[in-house]
Amino acid sequence: MPRPTIPELQARATRGEPLVMLTAYDSTFARLAEAAGIDFLLVGDSVGMTLLGHPSTVPVTMDDMLHHTRAVVRATLNAHVICDLPFMSYHGGEDDAVRNAGRAMQEAGAQSVKFEGGARWASFVTRCTDAGIPVMAHIGLRPQQSSLLGGYPAQGRTAEAAQRILDDALALEAAGAWALLLEKMPLEVAKAITERVNIPTIGIGSGPHCSGQVQVMHDVLGLDERFRPRHSARYADLAATVRDAFAAYARDVRAATFPTDAQSVRGGERLEGFPERDT
């Protein structure tokens, strides 16, 4: 089955079929996610925190995103792959912004891009759309603004703030965004947006009324024991499993029980006489 097109994904949302998105950052987990039937994979700038050891997404570069997006695209055939545009890759002027969005598709093979921004970014969305670059817009909590926000607080908790988010959604839809990612807002706000727009909404920490949901892969798999956001759903506890496996390997090496003959290569007759005997 080929990768789902944007019209296909939009039609499924219109029919009320929930869409499933998961982050992916490398070929191994991207292949597993696709085999599990995940509809589309977000190569998120969260890679900075999940894989690269940064305290936030801010240090992630465009080259980082291209590198990881290529790996996800190479490993998949059936999932729609979205490349996140990282901090400062679209803030220096629309020409540079459109160029970086185009690089995600041309150099990394992404099928669409995602950026964080509200109504003031409508012209950027239109320029990308006119250039043939599909855009998912990310509204509500925008992690790239964590320095200004003092962390990652929920957004839209007052009537005025909720109205601003709704206005952002309507403006971005009108500008050509093919979908909206709604992060960490009251479920009533996400529900109102989903009912007002004619494009899919993908929620994270925004309740059950969106067209679909996205989660960070590491949260779903329980790979980080130090961090468990309230909105996450943990379906495994792989941190313990992986740690135990590594510890068992270390014990076997130190006890000289690994490797055994089963993991070793024998030379056979071709190595007879090696090493040469002293004469």
Instruction: Name, in order, each residue with C-beta under 8 angstroms of 229's C-beta and a sequence gap of 6 or more.
Output: 205, 219
Is 64 inside a domain boundary? yes
Residues near 214 by beta carbon (within 8 Å), at least 6 away in sequence? 21, 22, 23, 42, 181, 202, 203, 204
Considering the domain boundaries, does residue 95 fall inside one? yes
Structure tokens, 64: 């980082």
What is the per-residue pLDDT for 273? 78
Is residue 8 part of the annotated active site? The answer reads: no
Alpha-carbon distance 84 to 98, whole Å? 13
Closest of 173, 92, 82 to residue 133, by C-alpha: 82
Which H or E run contains 21?
strand 19-23
Q: Is 119 domain-assigned?
A: yes
In a domain? residue 257:
no
At a CB cut-off of 8 Å and minimum separation 6, what does 101 contact?
85, 90, 113, 115, 128, 131, 133, 135
Whether residue 243 lies inside any domain: the answer is no
User: What pLDDT does residue 23 have?
Assistant: 98
Query: What does the pLDDT read at residue 277?
Result: 66
DSSP structure class, residue 3: P
Round to whole Å and give the CA distance between 247 and 253. Answer: 10
**Taking a C-beta distance cutoff of 8 angstroms, is the pair 136, 120 a contact?**
no
Is residue 28 within 8 Å of 71, Cβ to Cβ? no
- With a CB cutoff of 8 Å and minimum separation 6, the contacts of 46 are 23, 57, 84, 143, 216
Tokens of 10: 């939009």
**pLDDT value at position 278?**
63
Q: Of the listed 8, 183, 269, 276, which one is catalytic?
A: 183
Query: How much is the pLDDT for 71?
Result: 98
Output the pLDDT for position 274: 82
254 in a structural domain: no
Q: How far apart are CA 275 and CA 197, in angstroms?
A: 76
pLDDT in single tens digits along all 279 residues of the chain:
689 999 999 999 999 999 999 999 999 999 999 999 999 999 999 999 999 999 999 999 999 999 999 999 999 999 999 999 999 999 999 999 999 999 999 999 999 999 999 999 999 999 999 999 999 999 999 999 998 899 999 999 999 999 999 999 999 999 999 999 999 999 999 999 999 999 999 999 999 999 999 999 999 999 998 888 888 989 999 999 999 999 999 999 999 999 999 999 887 777 777 887 665
Supply the angle between the helices 159-175 and 122-130 in degrees, to the nearest 10: 20
Are 42 and 82 in contact by the 8 Å Cβ rule? The answer is yes
Query: Is the residue at 256 inside a domain?
Result: no
Is 264 domain-assigned? no
Q: How many separate domains does the chain show? A: 1
What is the reported pLDDT for 269? 75
The residue segments making up the domain with residue 71 are 6-236
| Domain at 211, CATH number | 3.20.20.60
